[in-house]
Chain A
Amino acid sequence: MATRTIQLEIKRQASPDEPSVWERFEIEARPGMNITSALMEIAANPVTADGKPTTPVTYDSNCLEEICGSCAMRINGKARMACSALVENLEQPIKVEPLSKFPLVRDLQVDRGVLFENLKTVKAWVPIDGTYDLGAGPKQLPQQQEVNYPLSNCISCTCCMEVCPQFNEATGFVGAATIAQVRLFNNHPSGKVLKEERLRALAGDGGIQECGFAQNCVEACPKQLPLTTSISEVSRDVLVQQVKDLLTL
Chain B
Amino acid sequence: MAAPKIIVVGGGLAGLAAVIKIAEAGGQVDLFSIVPVKRSHSVCAQGGINAAKNLKGEGDTTYKHFDDSIYGGDFLANQTPVKNMCEAAPGIIDLLDRMGVPFNRTPEGLLDFRRFGGTLYHRTAFAGATTGQQLLYALDEQVRRHESEGKVKKYEGWEFLSAILDSKGVCRGIVAMDLRTMEVRAFHADAIILATGGIGAIFGKSTNSVVCTGSAQSAVFQQGVAYANGEFIQVHPTSIPGEDKLRLMSESARGEGGRVWVPRTPGDKRAPKSIPETERFYFLEEWYPKYGNLVPRDIATRAIHRIVYKEGLGLDGQPMVYLDLSHIDSGTLDRKLGGILEIYEKFVGVDPRHEPMKIFPGMHYTMGGLWVDFNQMTNIPGIFAAGEAEYQYHGANRLGANSLVSCIYGGFVSGPNALAYAKSLPAMEGDGGAGAEIARQNELNQKLISNQGGENPFRLWRELGDTMTEHATVVRYNKGLLEADEKVVELLERYERVNLADKSAWANTSFAFARQLKNMLELARTITKGAYLRDESRGAHYKPDFPERNDEKFLKTSRASFTGSPDGPRIEWEAVDTQHITPRPRRYDSN
Contacts and interface: CB of A to CB of B under 8 A. Distances in A.
B35 to A, nearest CB: 5
Nearest to B506: A15
Interface stretch (B133-141, B258-266, B440-448, B550-558): B133-141
A53 B501 contact: yes
A120 B148 contact: yes
Interface string A26-52: 000011111011001001111000000
Given A14-B504, A142-B104, A43 B458 contact: yes
A185 B506 contact: no
B100 A188 contact: yes
B521 interface: no
Contacts of A44: 456, 458-459, 462
Interface string B500-512: 0110101111100
Interface residues on A, range: 35 or more
Interface in B19-61: 20-21, 24, 35-36, 38-41, 43-44
A183 interface: no
B502 A56 contact: yes
Interface in A130-179: 130-131, 133-137, 139-142, 144-146, 148-149, 152-153, 155-156
Contact of A32 (B147, B210, B242): B242
Contact of A66 (B104, B343, B506): B343
A126 B242 contact: no
A63 B41 contact: yes
A39 B139 CA distance: 32
Interface stretch (B64-72, B243-251, B368-376, B489-497): B243-251
A58 interface: yes
Interface stretch (A67-75, A199-207, A212-220, A226-234): A67-75
A68 B98 CA distance: 24
A116 interface: yes
A126 B104 CA distance: 18
Interface string B216-254: 000000000000000000000000001111011000000
Contacts of A235: none
Contact of B95 (A40, A63, A133): A133
Contacts of A37: 242-244
Contacts of A31: 243
A149 B128 contact: yes
B109 interface: yes
Contacts of B44: 63, 65, 67-68
Contacts of A70: 35, 39
Contact of A149 (B21, B102, B107): B102
A69 to B, nearest CB: 6
A79 interface: no
Interface in B309-340: 335, 339
B277 interface: no
Contacts of B108: 139
Interface residues of B, number: 71
B209 A63 contact: yes
A145 B459 contact: no
Contacts of A60: 35
B501 A56 contact: yes
A127 interface: yes
B507 A109 contact: yes
A136 B244 contact: no
Contacts of B35: 60, 62, 68, 70
Given A133-B94, A139-B110, A62 B141 contact: no
B126 to A, nearest CB: 11
A29 to B, nearest CB: 10
B242 A124 contact: no
Contacts of B144: 116, 119-120, 124-125
A138 to B, nearest CB: 8
Given A34-B243, A116-B38, A125 B347 contact: no
A31 to B, nearest CB: 8
A30 B41 CA distance: 26
A153 B36 CA distance: 17
Contact of B39 (A68, A146, A190, A191): A68
A36 B244 contact: yes
Contact of A14 (B107, B142, B506): B506
Interface string B448-480: 000000001011001000000000000000000
Nearest to A120: B148
A198 to B, nearest CB: 13
B148 A67 contact: no
Contact of B501 (A55, A136, A145): A55
Interface string A102-123: 0001110100010010011001
A1 interface: no
Nearest to B242: A32
Interface string A73-98: 00000000001101000000000000
Nearest to B110: A139
A218 B509 CA distance: 32
A137 to B, nearest CB: 4
Contacts of A15: 506-507
A155 B130 CA distance: 11
Nearest to A57: B509
A15 B209 CA distance: 26
A125 B109 contact: no
B106 interface: yes
Contacts of A130: 24
B100 A126 contact: yes
A33 B244 CA distance: 8
B411 to A, nearest CB: 11
Nearest to B142: A125
Contacts of B40: 62, 68
B102 A123 contact: no
A139 B243 CA distance: 44
A162 B509 CA distance: 24
A242 B3 CA distance: 42
Given A43-B510, A53-B501, A62-B210, A133 B104 contact: no
B507 A105 contact: yes
B180 interface: yes
A67 B462 contact: no
Contacts of A65: 44, 245, 247-248, 343, 347
A128 B142 contact: yes
A70 B128 CA distance: 22
A85 to B, nearest CB: 10
A33 B243 contact: yes
B550 to A, nearest CB: 39
A123 B148 CA distance: 9
A142 B107 contact: yes
A123 B145 contact: yes
A46 B44 CA distance: 30
Contacts of B110: 139
A46 B148 CA distance: 42
Nearest to B412: A131
Contacts of B343: 65-66
18 contacts: A36-B244, A46-B502, A55-B504, A56-B509, A62-B41, A62-B209, A68-B35, A83-B244, A116-B36, A125-B144, A128-B98, A133-B94, A141-B109, A142-B106, A144-B105, A145-B102, A155-B43, A190-B98
Question: What 9 pairs across the A-B complex have the smallest Cβ distances?
Answer: A137-B97, A139-B109, A125-B141, A55-B502, A37-B244, A106-B507, A44-B458, A126-B100, A37-B243
Given A37-B244, A139-B109, 4 more contacts: A60-B35, A70-B35, A83-B244, A142-B107
